[in-house]
Amino acid sequence: MKNKIILAAFALLLTFSACQKEEAYDREAQLKADTEIIQKFIVDQKLEDVKESNGLFYQILKPGTGTVPVKVTDDVTVKYEARLLDGTVVDKTNTDAVSFPLSGVIEGWQKGIPLIKAGGKIRLIIPSTMAYTNRKVGAIPANSPLDFTVDLISVNKESN
For 43-93, the three-class secondary structure string (H helix, E strand, C coil) is HHCCCCCCEEECCEEEEEEECCCCCCCCCCCCEEEEEEEEEECCCCEEEEC
For residue 27, the domain's CATH number is 3.10.50.40
What confidence score (pLDDT) does residue 82 get?
A: 98
Domain count, the chain: 1
pTM comes to 0.83
The pLDDT, as a whole number, for residue 7 is 39
CB 64 within 8 A of CB 116: yes
Q: What is the pLDDT of residue 144?
A: 98
Give 121-145 pLDDT, tens digit per residue. 999 999 999 999 999 999 999 999 9
pLDDT of residue 85: 98
In this structure, is residue 70 part of a structural domain? Answer: yes
Cβ atoms of residues 74 and 158 within 8 Å: yes
Q: Quick check: is 148 in a domain?
A: yes
C-alpha span between 128 and 31 (Å, rounded) = 7
* Residues with pLDDT less than 50, the chain: 2-20, 160
In which domain, by residue range, is 143 found? 23-156
